[in-house]
Amino acid sequence: MKEPEVTPELAFEHGLNKEEYEKILKILGRTPTFTELGIFSVMWSEHCSYKNSIAQLKTLPRSGGRLLVGAGEENAGLVDIGDGLAVAFKIESHNHPSAVEPYQGAATGVGGIMRDIFTMGARPIASLNSLRFGTLDDARTRYLFAGVVKGIGDYGNSFGVPTVAGEVYFDESYQLNPLVNAMAVGIVKTNTFASATAKGEGNPVMIVGSSTGRDGIHGATFASEELSEKSESRRPSMQVGDPFTEKLLLEASLEIIRKGYLIGIQDMGAAGISCSTTEMSAKGKSGMKINLDKVPLREEGMSAYEIMLSESQERMLCVVKKGYEDRVREVFEKWDLHCEIIGEVINDDKLFINYKGKLEAELPPFDLVLGGGAPVYIREQKEPSYIKEKRKFDFTSLIEPKDIQETFLKIFSSPNIASKRWIYEQYDSTVRTNTIVGPGCDSAVIYIKGTNKALAMKTDCNARYIYLNPKEGAKIAVAESARNIVCSGGIPLAITNCLNFGNPYKPEIYWQFAEAISGMGEACRFFDTPVTGGNVSFYNESPDRAVYPTPTIGMLGLIEDLSQVTTSYFKNEGDLVYILGKENEEIGGSEYLKVIHKKVEGNCPQLDLQTEKKLQDTVLKLIRKGLINSAHDVSEGGIVCALAECCIINEEKKLGAEVNIPIKSRKDFSYFSETQSRIIVSISKDKKDEFEKVLHSFNQPFIQSGEVGGISLLINDDINIKVNELADLYFNTISRIMSGEK
């Protein structure tokens, strides 16, 4: 088939603008070939180049703490945890593919993030996710929800890595544009991690894993535009995942890394061979000669353009030490994987792509990549007009509910509050036998075998807060992630982020993005949790609206002694219940306001970083001294919902409690306020004096609110519900909706 003539119009169809096309002409000194145009279009897409976000991302704290590599330097972040070990972790989005084909979109999202981890030489030990959907009363939402969850579960379960934590929210803003963010965590020895680089003249370049087909062509550019009715037509080009091949690829890759056969290795994710060849060459300040005739294909008649842009899954590009080719081949053949030498490294700043005796592309890698010559833009910003309007809302105009207990039950059974058991029961959360605390508590805890340590991990973001106040909301996302880590006994170490926003060319969207980055950076610097890297996903818009701005935080923490692992639920009859922190009656953006009054108004809760840090330091001190039996942070739904969760999270031993909560102005405001920097703890009575002594030493505000015991949750004279009834509501609401019962 004859290739089309390259024109400015064809470049525009590829997502390039006039200035970018002119820049390509200047770089090459000529009109690009069709294959070259395709390579530029995917490498300069937002998904690969971060052209509209990198200027803002560079303002984040991207080094320091225990980081071993700076943000963006490798396939994933790397954090030193001592004992000669490091943790590789990263989060990425697969939003647009999941909107069109939820099962494969989610499955290949999991597969892609796993490859980012094991190409570092790290063995994946845990998977997490952060998901957003429309409201569950909509049939298409239920279809997307079920497909995404099954895709995550089937891939992760087959691959053999436990899915241990996550978060799921439902809101109208995600109705046509769900968010699917996948996070993975792995362990590697600090002296054996691998790099995504190409260097050394004559070193062979090998492609390993699955054959190349036409699936996923232009996936990177698809992820760099708004969803529309045309999106459905892209279904046939979606990537198809094969977790069993990926498992083989994992073992083979770790073996050749461990044996020292490699110079560098990189996953072929977005933009396929185009991305891995250019990025590895640019990183190593070298070039490559590639012969596409050597690439194993699974479809006939593929062009150079198609081969270079294919996003077929379960493929890696390896730069092998010269003379070790046969040893590498032996390893891959042992794992029943196909590998081929498709080129070599050259001491030139050019990438030469040959196919069927013709030079199809001659490109400078540096000019194609993020951090090199890829375009960088700072877009116009404008505060959205709705911000000021929503701040004017008069909360005293809200009618106070007549029945507080009924109000509480409605909020507690909201899909945003209710247990996500229907989801995580489809995941294997204990494979590999490292899981100490699985889904359902403040954060997951994974044992590091051969040590007395564990990792705590969590994903978090309340997008409603970001919508109302992007800067403050992003600070809260970081703080709450850290708070969850602390409640599990961990020291917050670092974050990865997945920044899901609308179209950056719209000034109001770019303002949200810049403000969220500012808040995130401020909080990360304060908590000394540098940003190891992550993902930006723009263009999350349907024809009707943009999604709520959703900068998801993936937080990693270290528990230095297994005896300090702490869980959220009450443990013993007679234990005392304390609430640490102050109540400020903040219901702006709350679940109460949304569920009961059908409103999203006001400002999000305010966060004082000093207050938050003092609370976290206090709780860590209490845990280390063995003074508390449980710790659970107060978040969506307020103090009453948090107390109810403490009673029932452990289904095997549900315990009631009788507590008193001071009312400041109104019961509904005090009960359902989402004021930050509050943690519910339970302690043994005989430790009361020592416990309160520590609180006083930190000048930590607290109230002793009640006692654990009985078969009901009793709060003041307003709420009296048996824990079995609470558990039924909490654990079965989503399953009833999905089965059509509710």
Q: Is the backbone of residue 42 left (phi > 0), alpha (psi -120 to 50) or beta?
A: alpha
Q: Which residues contact 418 (CB under 8 A, 6 or more apart)?
A: 412, 729, 730, 731, 733, 734
Cβ density class 652-682: b for 16+ within 10 Å, e for less: eebbbbbbebeeeebbbbbbbbbbbbbbbbb
Is position 96 annotated as part of the catalytic site?
A: no
- What integer pLDDT is reported at residue 70 of this predicted model? 80
- Is the pLDDT at 706 greater than 70, yes or no? yes
User: Among the options 47, 96, 218, 632, which is catalytic?
Assistant: 47
Q: Are strands 77-82 and 85-93 parallel, antiparallel or unpaired?
A: antiparallel
Residues 209 and 360: their CA atoms lie apart, in Å, by 24
- What integer pLDDT is reported at residue 74 of this predicted model? 86
Q: How confident is the model at residue 234 (pLDDT cuts 50, 70, 90)?
A: very low
Q: How confident is the model at residue 586 (pLDDT cuts 50, 70, 90)?
A: very high
What's the average model confidence in pLDDT over 710-732?
97
* pLDDT tens column, 479-495: 999 999 999 999 999 99
Residues 295 and 304: their CA atoms lie apart, in Å, by 10
Q: CB–CB of 183/129 below 8 Å? A: yes
* pLDDT tens column, 46-77: 989 999 999 999 999 998 889 998 888 888 99
Identify the three-state secondary structure at position 522: helix
- Is the pLDDT at 209 greater than 50, yes or no? yes
- What integer pLDDT is reported at residue 65 of this predicted model? 85
Burial of 581 (0-12, 13-18, 19+ CB in 10 A): buried
- What integer pLDDT is reported at residue 218 of this predicted model? 65
Q: CA 732, 587, 527: angle at the middle one, nearest 5? A: 90
Rounded to 10°, the helix 723-738/404-412 angle is 50
In percent, how much of the chain has pLDDT > 90?
91
- Is the pLDDT at 250 greater than 50, yes or no? yes
How many contiguous H segments (helices) and E segments (strands) does the chain have? 25, 25
Q: Which residues contact 551 (CB under 8 A, 6 or more apart)?
A: 461, 466, 474, 477, 497, 498, 499, 500, 501, 516, 517, 520
Residues 446 and 120: their CA atoms lie apart, in Å, by 20
* pLDDT tens column, 290-344: 999 999 999 999 999 999 999 998 999 999 999 999 999 999 999 999 999 999 9
Q: CB–CB of 517/55 below 8 Å? A: no
Q: Which residues contact 153 (CB under 8 A, 6 or more apart)?
A: 163, 426, 427, 428
- Is the pLDDT at 232 greater than 80, yes or no? no
Q: CA 547, 461, 188: angle at the middle one, nearest 5? A: 120
3-state helix, strand, coil in the chain (%, to 5): 40, 20, 40
What's the average model confidence in pLDDT over 598-624?
98
Q: How confident is the model at residue 231 (pLDDT cuts 50, 70, 90)?
A: very low
CATH number at 567-742:
3.90.650.10
Identify the three-state secondary structure at position 11: helix
DSSP states of 553-600 as a string?
EEEEEEESSGGG---SS--STT-EEEEES------TT-HHHHHHH---
The more confidently predicted of residues 741 and 677 is 677
User: Among the options 14, 94, 218, 632, which is catalytic?
Assistant: 94
Is position 696 annotated as part of the catalytic site?
A: no
- Is the pLDDT at 236 greater than 50, yes or no? no
* pLDDT tens column, 132-154: 999 999 999 999 999 999 999 99
Indicate the residue type of 725. E
Q: How far apart are the first and last CA of the chain?
A: 55
- What integer pLDDT is reported at residue 224 of this predicted model? 46
Backbone angles phi, psi at 707, to 5 degrees: -145, 145
Task: Provide the strand spans (E) within 250-379.
Answer: 262-267, 287-291, 315-320, 339-346, 351-355, 358-363
Query: Could you tell me the sign of the dihedral formed by the alpha carbons of 498, 501, 504, 510, in that order?
Result: negative
Query: Could you tell me the sign of the dihedral formed by the alpha carbons of 207, 209, 215, 220, in that order?
Result: negative
Backbone angles phi, psi at 393, to 5 degrees: -60, 135
What's the average model confidence in pLDDT over 94-101?
93
Mean pLDDT, the chain, rounded, equals 95
Q: Which tokens belong to 224?
A: 């760099």
Q: Are strands 712-715 and 657-659 parallel, antiparallel or unpaired?
A: parallel
pTM metric for this prediction: 0.95
DSSP states of 637-700 as a string?
THHHHHHHHHHHSSGGG---EEE----SS-HHHHHH---SS-EEEEE-GGGHHHHHHHHHHTT-
Rounded to 10°, the helix 609-624/470-487 angle is 10
Residues 82 and 560: their CA atoms lie apart, in Å, by 10
Residues 180 and 481: their CA atoms lie apart, in Å, by 18
Q: CB–CB of 221/305 below 8 Å? A: no
Q: What is the DSSP letter of 364?
A: -
Closest CA to 208 of 331, 60, 78: 331
* pLDDT tens column, 519-530: 999 999 999 999
Q: Are strands 85-93 and 315-320 parallel, antiparallel or unpaired?
A: unpaired
- What integer pLDDT is reported at residue 269 of this predicted model? 78
